[in-house]
Structure 1
Amino acid sequence: MSMKKWKISTGYCGLRFSSETKTYNLIQLNMATIEVTKQSPNTEKNYQKVIVRGEIDRDTIAQLRDGMEQIITTLEANTLVLDMENLAFINSEGIGYLTDVYNRLSGSGKNIVILKASARIMDIFQLVGINQIIPCYTSEEEIVSKA
């Protein structure tokens, strides 16, 4: 059996050829997903932690914006902490969105920081310079000590 794959707007799909039946079948290989989870605010340390899992790309950016909008507009803590430990991918739209969030929050006297981004994601952040705008930390203790 051979397989070819390509990216379409709803995720990765492929054609699998069956040598027995001499037919191709369209199959879904995987689909980009994003999950945004708001944790209880840490009122003692004055930050709100949000866990971002999955991939940020053109297929998931709208979901990310929708998930983050209510969090941003109701943010009472001084700092929004984006835990990106389980973020596998981010594209230029995602980078642009992070800068938008930074601008919105800093305009209202609040901060955004990135927590536990993988080496791969940090390489991207360093390449485009986002780590010069949005502080990136490896632990919550580091965030508290720098505040």
Structure 2
Amino acid sequence: MTPAEKHPHLDMPSTEQLRALIESIRPALADVYLEVHRLVLDVLPDVRFEVDRTDAGIGYGARQFGYNGWGMGALAAHRAWVSLVFFRGTKLDDPNGLLEGTGASVRHVKIRSLDELEVRRAALRALLHEAAHHHGT
């Protein structure tokens, strides 16, 4: 079975399609997940994205998830938070100290609530702008 068969994707889904998917997987995080996605689209209105129908992971930028290359970032829903992932996170300036992780290049920001998102919104916008610059988006 190919990676695409194990993890089928939906290209540029609507908000309604995303809501149905995330509510079927992580209903308690649906509002946070959708609001972070809205933030990404607000900052980067022309970004291409795909959602993995198996786990609701959204990849931003061309050819994400290692299928024939890497994209700019991703949004992933976990048990108690969503992670906004930056594939070239080690290259980003993070004066607010939001980025977590110890990998060679990937970093992420955990967001547990809408209130936490609001507090971090300006810093996340700056990270998204910079990530798009490094990606060439």
**Which has a greater percent of strand?**
1
Whose Rg is larger?
1
Q: Name the structure with the higher helix share.
A: 2
Q: Report the TM-score, using the length of structure 2 for normalisation.
A: 0.28
